[in-house]
A and B are shown apart, each in its own frame.
Chain A
């Protein structure tokens, strides 16, 4: 509880002193003091605005082009993607950042190490966007061995469903061992108990081959038993005969083999029912005993060839904008938190305590008292972020790989691309600049009106 000491209120134009000093000066003095600032504004803001408008009416070589640049702009796919992405940014990023900032601000009021926590959350603000972009290219790298995001996902995923498939393995001869109706592979011919089968696979990755794998051996026929071998039909150094078990070729352990009866083989409409399932041993050998006489095709179900989960392609065409928004949220949450925390400390404690005394739960206090009292601050944060997000450029250009830059395109990036990044059409670039300016204008006007209301 702080008690404000009595005294003259502070602030611009707050007291009688301020009022007199504002109107008492001669106008030439006011103009003299304002002149440097006005000159700078004219050179750095007003002139470029008008020049950009003028330039936007000319083509790449500077000849008058009328409104053709604007026509080209709104018919180009790149601009339409950029507008769509800007809309996503505008709707998602400021909201998420403000919400997170609010949560952090409210929570830090209650933890012991509030300052340390705030410092950590605020830290990304001290990093330039370019550096943040580069940090996040490392986070979003595809390879789980190097990319943090995918490493985390793969780690979590591995806990729930450890996979040990021969990913990448495929039949030596697809006409003998073809795609099965429900995934996996199925032999084209059928076998009867007493026969032996040789199922040759290639393309087995060295990392997938268990250490215990032993050299494959051909199955010996035995009455009543359908036996066979699943093996990696490739001799180190090449030279092996296809489809034949050569010395040095490894058997594939732990492959699930199913005997299917009634199926028409992989060439036909498929179907059939699995009557028995076995696993191969270290030499890749398997044997079905006790099968009823008849014809069976052999099937290697898809689970044998499951691709290991390697995470998402964060910076691919579909996820790239969302991934970049993630980086933006990381950067700006601290900013929102600090502003909101400042607003929070200005809320009269009495109001909160009164609400608690009246029996409000923490959630009700938060929703019915804290948030309404904070509304002006939240609006400031939201509008500031919206203006900021509209101009987003640096994170997009550093994070999006060239191959998905089109998919991550935003207006500021498109403006740069057509004017400098190879397009060399500063007329079209200026048109985009004018468009961006028009889009930012409402937020600016809203902010100015609010400032003036507050000043009154």
Chain B
């Protein structure tokens, strides 16, 4: 099904080429002479003089400034007036209200694949046109097209992504112990032991926040069981008592359960503290695992410099597993059938749009044609490289895909069970049983 669709869109795209016939865009006022502007990067966009577009996303602050720069470039090219609306964190509610009221924004950035599925299924989203589909084919690994497709129709362009497979470390602690950033889980264990021998407790875990533990598990699971099993477990098509889950828990226990490897008091340490206690002036740890946003915490909460005092390595390979990344992202979708919306999606799918924000920092694109040189520093370049390099082995954060009753309840569900597991890492079978019981209690989307 998915394959035939891809083939069909390719055909259409080929027919349309880059001539920009603007299928279904009869309303746009194109003057014969300068109807389309062509840029050196190769994105040609219609003249949208007099058109008004509204764009909605959760971003505020620095991220809002980033998207504003992208939208300004779009306005400059098309002469359309673009208004940005920040929805706050609860974008699902804001969009739902506006869709019901008949006033949706033209384009919205959705932070979860679940929301994309939901809105596409109830008919609130407009499919992308052939040009956008062609741009997605040209610029993204196939996984991103799949992730933007609902029931065979492509609805979105993944514009921004987060890498949650980064392990951050204090370079001074690694130098002190003479340890190199590990590439495999065994090397990580060995390195952690050496750091412990050198007198620093190596691993800082923010166990007071359950979501950091689900991220640990998901990375180990994706690495040890592979993407296919990961997809099945995410949909609860295989039980949590599956051997692969127990294997992953056992792998985690090698680190969490070894005396002296985890900084004491992990269950009382929240995520920001787990980072600051590694990178503060009187450090208590050497390694902290979480997503690329750790860089932001280091920069704002400590005096350590990202790139010199603090660095990261990709989540290590378990038993020689190939590179894979757990992460998140924001998908741009059209909520109105306006030519401007489709033109904006086409622009967002281009390397040009991604490059504008990439240069500003605090942003990662999965557009494979974005020049890595556009990123402002080595750290963000490495994060982007890992994301793009994982290709089709990218997977969304599993607990974000699960119903909140299982994957997002403070003090309950997966969060609490993994906290109990952190307290008692020998209890692999019991933990798997409890996870299965909690997963069975909620309804997973099919």
Contact = CB atoms under 8 A, between A and B. Distances in A.
Interface of A: 141-143, 145, 168, 170, 172, 202-209, 232, 234-239, 313, 315-316, 400-406, 409, 417, 421-424
A421 B410 contact: yes
Interface string B164-183: 00000000000111110000
A313 B268 contact: yes
Which of B197, B268, B411, B419 has the most CB atoms of chain A within a 10 A radius of its CB? B411
A306 B319 CA distance: 39
- Tier of interface size on chain B: 35 or more
10 contacts: A142-B269, A202-B199, A206-B200, A234-B198, A234-B199, A236-B198, A237-B175, A237-B176, A403-B210, A405-B411
A160 B267 CA distance: 30
Nearest to B408: A422
A237 to B, nearest CB: 4
Contacts of A145: 282
A406 B411 contact: yes
Contact of A315 (B175, B177, B268, B404): B268
A402 B179 contact: no
B169 to A, nearest CB: 15
A238 B177 contact: yes
A159 B416 CA distance: 39
A58 B145 CA distance: 42
A409 B412 CA distance: 12
A235 B179 CA distance: 12
Contacts of B268: 141-142, 313, 315-316, 401, 403
B260 interface: yes
Given A237-B178, A417-B411, A422 B267 contact: no
Interface stretch (B201-209, B323-331, B361-369, B380-388): B201-209
Contacts of A203: 196-199, 260
Contacts of B282: 145, 207
A239 to B, nearest CB: 6
A402 B410 contact: yes
B415 A402 contact: yes
B419 A402 contact: yes
A37 to B, nearest CB: 34
Interface string B125-163: 000000000000000000000000000000000000000
A401 B405 contact: no
Nearest to A204: B199
Contacts of B423: 403
Contacts, number: 102
A357 B198 CA distance: 75
A172 B198 CA distance: 11
Contacts of B408: 422
Contact of B199 (A168, A400, A406, A421): A168
B197 A202 contact: yes
A210 B52 CA distance: 70
Contacts of B176: 236-237
A404 B270 CA distance: 13
B46 interface: no
A238 B179 contact: yes
Nearest to B177: A238
Given A202-B197, A403-B419, A422 B413 contact: yes
Nearest to B211: A402
A422 B410 contact: yes
Contacts of A208: 199
Contacts of A141: 268
A213 B286 CA distance: 24
Contacts of A316: 267-268
B265 interface: yes
A209 B200 CA distance: 12
A174 B201 CA distance: 19
A303 B197 CA distance: 20
B97 interface: no
B60 interface: no
Given A142-B265, A143-B265, A402-B210, 10 more contacts: A168-B201, A234-B198, A236-B198, A238-B194, A316-B267, A402-B411, A402-B419, A403-B419, A422-B408, A423-B405
Contact of A422 (B197, B277, B409): B409
Contacts of A238: 177-179, 194, 198
A202 B282 CA distance: 20
Interface string B200-237: 11000001111000000000000000000000000000
Contact of B208 (A232, A403, A423): A403
Contact of B412 (A170, A172, A422): A422
A402 B199 contact: no
A224 B217 CA distance: 59
Contacts of B419: 402-403
A208 B201 CA distance: 13
Contacts of A403: 207-208, 210, 267-268, 411, 416, 419, 423
Contact of A239 (B178, B208, B209, B416): B178
Interface string B406-442: 0011111101100100010000000000000000000
* Smallest CB-CB A-B distances: 4 pairs: A238-B178, A422-B409, A405-B411, A202-B197
Contacts of B207: 403
A248 to B, nearest CB: 12
Nearest to A405: B411
Contacts of A172: 197
Nearest to B410: A402
B260 A424 contact: no
A136 to B, nearest CB: 14
A313 B265 contact: yes
A236 B175 CA distance: 8
Contacts of A205: 199-200
Given A417-B409, A422-B405, A423-B405, A402 B209 contact: yes
Contact of A401 (B196, B198, B208, B404): B208
